[in-house]
Structure 1
Amino acid sequence: MTEMTINYRHLKNSSLPTWLGLVVGSWVGLAWGSLISAPVGIGVGVAAGSAFGGFLAVPLWGTLWGLVGLGSQREAAARQHGVKLLKEDDPLAQRVYALAAQLGLKTRPWVAVMPHNNAYAIGASADNALVVIGQPLIDSLSEDEVDAIIGHELGHVANNDMRRMGLARSFQNSLVWYLGFSDTLQRWGRWLLTWLSELFVLRLSRSREYWADAIGAALTSKEHMIAALEKLHNGPELSEFERQHARLMFRGVAAGSLLSTHPTLEERRAALQSQAYLNRLPVLKANISTLQPSTADLPKIEEIAYAKE
């Protein structure tokens, strides 16, 4: 096991700042949309009044729908994504548990395999998480590279990224849905806010990948994290399933544009090499830059080969 342990309690993993930002953002969007959509001659008070109901409704709907959806996300994914859930004594599950404990997580996530050359994590919180690893990764990557990817997905769990992204998407849907009920706001305001909110969600998605990469690197090494990224980047094209759920995936849409779900390979590699995020992780023991971690105590990849069936 590595001699470095991330200080889980000091991770900035609260979703409250994200929620507050979404509430304020929805209010600003409603006020702005009402003003630019108001017909010529309508007063500012009338225009603002058309959005007033949304100042309560949008945050309420966004929060409620988001939390309800997240609460059933793990079970829905297990039913609908075609994954194979593993038993607790499975070697791959044991590797995930060991890395989760090393990270400081107090509960064990569900673990599953899938036929796609990717990985993802899903669930409302660390207590309700599912980590899915693609069988092609197990077949083609080294043990440390697989661990780096597992660590990346556990990083999303530890950072509460699933809740952040779920709330962001729910608030976006609630805002657009509410605007559709207003004769005033459903014009240009609705169209523009739909795109602006989409760009915000995608930007949030890209930013969270850097932190998850850093945690994966901290649990293994930045070299293994970079190697895993490069091998997946040079692998097969994304499947339809991977594109449909690109925001969840370890490797998503990374075209280097505002519409990308993930940073490009070059951007992720540069962030790891410079340790821009690694050096900002709270740790309990040694300095990250001097570590030579080992995963010798974890179950071997060869013991997981059974899943090739």
Structure 2
Amino acid sequence: MNGIKTTMLLAALTALFMALGYTLGGSGGAVIALLVAAGMNLFTFWNADKIVLKMHNAREVDERSAPDFYRLVQQLAQRANLPMPRVYLIDQDAPNAFATGRDPDHAAVAATTGLLAMLSRDEVAGVMAHELGHVKNRDTLIMTMVATIAGAISMLAQFGLFFRGGRDEGHGNILATLLAVIVAPFAAMIVQMAISRTREYGADRAGAEISGNPRALASALAKISGAAQAIPNPVVASNPATAQLYIVPTHVSELFSTHPATEKRIAALQDIASDMGSVEGIAPTPIVQPRASALSPVAPTPEPPRRRSALDPHGR
């Protein structure tokens, strides 16, 4: 089903890209847009994870640089019967996380330091289990490719508005150009929303099953949803298409969000918790004092009482 969905989505976005190219450059523009779209689809298929991770300035961590966080993801991947993904941290205050990669064998998961600073260990486990749910459901390819191509459509529309909007080629041509550069990004956003909302519910359920603790994921969503709206995210500011990658949306209304309303997701997780009965959860990692964090790679000095999290690798 996801393979069919991916094919249909890419065909729709490619057609949209061609239509915009035709509006801006006639039949020649449509052909160029088709070639660009084909090359972009192929390039993104093989390099989507690298594109997204570089966009976020993510740094890869391992058992030496972030042992507890890495082991937590490792334990969750084992529970999900998934290959161990690459693990990344993003030095950013906005609390969020995402997964990327074309398939489970080439997957990567990333979390911001802001997320680790805000949540308890069980809540972080719920969030990362959600991201592994995307990997298990094979959502990561479509998530990344949609973000990349939709971003390209937006950039092409802006290019057309700047270089074609002011040309004196007739009133009708100018109106057609303006209509195209406004409609194309909006249509790309509609495509994103159409596939993203049901996918998030699926990843929430998968994450609840992987972690065994749906209430922890519900608690995490409640904590980070408001902060994700309030704290600026520079990546989303420069490329709004990346918002669909995150576990919660940023700076968008429910009407135009690629995610279901957080309250509805929490209610669904509470129902899952009731169905599951007892909470299995992830066994805590033994903590050696004076380490104040279950996920800190380095034991803190006596100075930082401002440490707020069981998972903050920087002690912020």
Normalized against structure 2, the TM-score is what?
0.67
CA contact (8 A) 1:27 1:55 kept: no
- The Cα shift of 1:94 comes to 0.8
- Give the one of 182, 201, 211 matched to 2:202: 211
Structure 2 letter corresponding to 1:238: I
Structure 1 letter corresponding to 2:184: L
Structure 1 letter corresponding to 2:122: D
- Give the one of 143, 156, 159 matched to 2:137: 159
Q: 1:26 to 1:130 in 2, by over 3 A?
A: closer
* Structural RMSD (CA): 4.0
Structure 2 letter corresponding to 1:267: K
Residues 1:240 and 2:229 are matched in the alignment: no
Q: 1:157 to 1:77 in 2, by over 3 A?
A: farther
- Give the one of 101, 104, 114 matched to 1:124: 101
Residue 249 of structure 1 corresponds to which residue in structure 2?
A: 246
Residue 22 of structure 1 corresponds to which residue in structure 2?
A: 10
Could you list the per-position Cα deviations for residues 123-156 of structure 1 after superposition, in whole angstroms to 9, with x for gaps in the alignment?
3233333323344544543332121011112222
Q: 1:288 to 1:114 in 2, by over 3 A?
A: farther
Residues 1:224 and 2:216 are matched in the alignment: yes
Q: 1:71 to 1:117 in 2, by over 3 A?
A: closer
CA contact (8 A) 2:97 2:115 kept: no
Q: 1:263 to 1:198 in 2, by over 3 A?
A: same
Q: Which runs of 5+ in 2 are unaligned?
A: 299-312
Q: 1:120 to 1:303 in 2, by over 3 A?
A: closer
Structure 1 letter corresponding to 2:212: T
Q: Distance in 2 between matches of 1:144 and 1:95?
A: 10
Q: Secondary structure at the match of 1:53?
A: helix
Identity within the alignment, %: 21
Residue 199 of structure 1 corresponds to which residue in structure 2?
A: 190
Could you list the per-position Cα deviations for residues 84-111 of structure 1 after superposition, in whole angstroms to 9, with x for gaps in the alignment?
7233681220110110111121233224
Residues 1:258 and 2:243 are matched in the alignment: no
Range that drifts further, 287-296 or 92-101: 287-296
Structure of greater relative contact order (alpha carbons < 8 Å, 6+ residues apart): 1
Q: 1:108 to 1:263 in 2, by over 3 A?
A: same
Q: 1:255 to 1:136 in 2, by over 3 A?
A: closer
Structure 2 letter corresponding to 1:105: L
Q: 1:23 to 1:294 in 2, by over 3 A?
A: same
Q: Distance in 2 between matches of 1:205 and 1:19?
A: 15
Residue 283 of structure 2 corresponds to which residue in structure 1?
A: 296
Q: Secondary structure at the match of 2:244?
A: coil
Q: Secondary structure at the match of 1:247?
A: helix
Structure 2 letter corresponding to 1:127: D
Give runs of aligned pairs for residues 112-151 of structure 1, distance below 5 A.
112=89, 114-125=91-102, 126-151=104-129
CA contact (8 A) 1:26 1:58 kept: no
Q: Distance in 1 between matches of 2:19 and 2:227?
A: 46
Q: Distance in 2 between matches of 1:272 and 1:143?
A: 18
Q: Distance in 1 between matches of 2:88 and 2:20?
A: 44
Q: Distance in 2 between matches of 1:263 and 1:92?
A: 28
Q: 1:84 to 1:64 in 2, by over 3 A?
A: closer
Q: 1:223 to 1:242 in 2, by over 3 A?
A: farther
Q: 1:119 to 1:65 in 2, by over 3 A?
A: same
Residues 1:85 and 2:61 are matched in the alignment: yes
Range that drifts further, 58-67 or 195-204: 58-67
Could you list the per-position Cα deviations for residues 148-174 of structure 1 after superposition, in whole angstroms to 9, with x for gaps in the alignment?
011112222323333212222344456
Normalized against structure 1, the TM-score is what?
0.69
Residue 267 of structure 2 corresponds to which residue in structure 1?
A: 270
Could you list the per-position Cα deviations for residues 17-64 of structure 1 after superposition, in whole angstroms to 9, with x for gaps in the alignment?
312332145437857997xx7xxxxxxxxx9x6787379536513412
Q: Secondary structure at the match of 1:96?
A: helix
Q: 1:114 to 1:59 in 2, by over 3 A?
A: closer
Q: 1:230 to 1:22 in 2, by over 3 A?
A: same
Q: Distance in 2 between matches of 1:99 and 1:134?
A: 18
Q: 1:77 to 1:196 in 2, by over 3 A?
A: closer
